[in-house]
Amino acid sequence: MTENLLNHRVEGPASAPVLLLGPSLGTSYALWDAVAPELSVTHRVVRWDLPGHGGSAPGLIKAGATVGDLAGLVLALADSLGIERFAYAGVSLGGAVGLHLAVHHPDRLESLAVICSSAHFGGSKAWEERAERVRREGVEWLAENAPGRWFTPGFTVPRLVEDQRTADPEAYAACCDALAAFDLRDRLGEIAVRTLLIAGRQDTATPPPHLREIADAVAAATLVELPGAAHLAPAQCPEAVLTALRSHLDGGARRGMAVRREVLGDAHVDGAQARQTPFTARFQDFISRYAWGEIWTDPTLSRRERSMITLTALVAHGHYDELAMHVRAARRNGLTPEEIGAVLLQTAVYCGVPAANSAFATAQRVLAEEEG
């Protein structure tokens, strides 16, 4: 690891969309241990350590540092990895870095998630006092009370407490300097990127009103409050954080439902939703999220081309009820009856004459209904 870059870990396919994960003060990228592996199924996940934390060199930050300095280190890391645009999620100080990026470098962000964080951290005095004491006494006293600051009573994560214990005092104090100087409240309205705010209802460090303040000011914001979560929500409530992030990052069900309606028509989709039961609900979500939210939204192929491929596949497998639905969809996607006929004629060669015969009968019925 070069001394000029933040220590980091990369997980997930190199071809996947990039997601950067930022830690809180006093922790390492281990904060994301229960979440990052699952997110790496769909994203190239890059989680990083603050200077003097985990494996990052203390010398990357100096006394009097700002959140902007930390954001610069994150951008340098992204540049070194060949990453131009990325989704970003951060906890506490890591969340503040994300807010700074959204205000000062909006061209780099695809989306933003701010977790148990704030646009300001209660004024400078407490942070200045903490920085002074850490420079004088070190960080052992912080490690002793870390569980009480970070989690609800009775819960702890020893690995994260050890991160606090081994943090470099000078680098930690410089991060305190950054928090002392941080206040973006008057610029929150400039944030245009799609933003998720996650608050822990038991978080005493950055309680829910801090996240609500951001949500009220950012036009494209969604706020989620997690019962039972304190300050380090990804470690204490990983499943809840994972669910919120997945929905935020892919947006597949939302995008998919819009495309599904455009292609199949409101009447069909309304009927499918009316017939939905608790037993079929997950399947309907699967269709909207993946078939329509990922495949049909991929711009590599036009909707006309996708309709032709879909017609062929349905004929090949003899799914004639579905074929009728997709003949109607093909007309919405701009195919003429002649083009639909040409597709079905080709299936006679590659799928067989009996299959094409049934397909022509189905398509002729649908097209006649349209004309009538």
Note the pLDDT tens digit of each residue in 165-199: 999 999 999 999 999 999 999 999 999 999 999 99
Which H/E stretch holds residue 190? none
Strands 86-91 and 44-48: unpaired
- Alpha carbon distance 229, 237 (integer Å): 6
Note the pLDDT tens digit of each residue in 122-138: 999 999 999 999 999 99
- Alpha carbon distance 53, 68 (integer Å): 18
22 Rama sector, left if φ>0, alpha if ψ -120 to 50, beta otherwise: beta
- Alpha carbon distance 253, 297 (integer Å): 11
Residues 185, 108, 293, 15, CA torsion sign: negative
Q: What is the mean pLDDT of residues 51-60?
A: 98
Indicate the average pLDDT of the chain: 94
- pLDDT at position 1, please? 47
Longest dimension (CA), the chain: 86
Q: In what order do the strands lie in the sheet with 221-226?
A: 8-11, 44-48, 18-22, 86-91, 109-115, 195-200, 221-226
Using a pLDDT cut of 90, give the percent of the chain over it.
83
Under 8 Å between Cβ of 42 and 15: no
- Could you tell me the pTM of the whole model? 0.74
Q: And the tokens for 223?
A: 């706020």
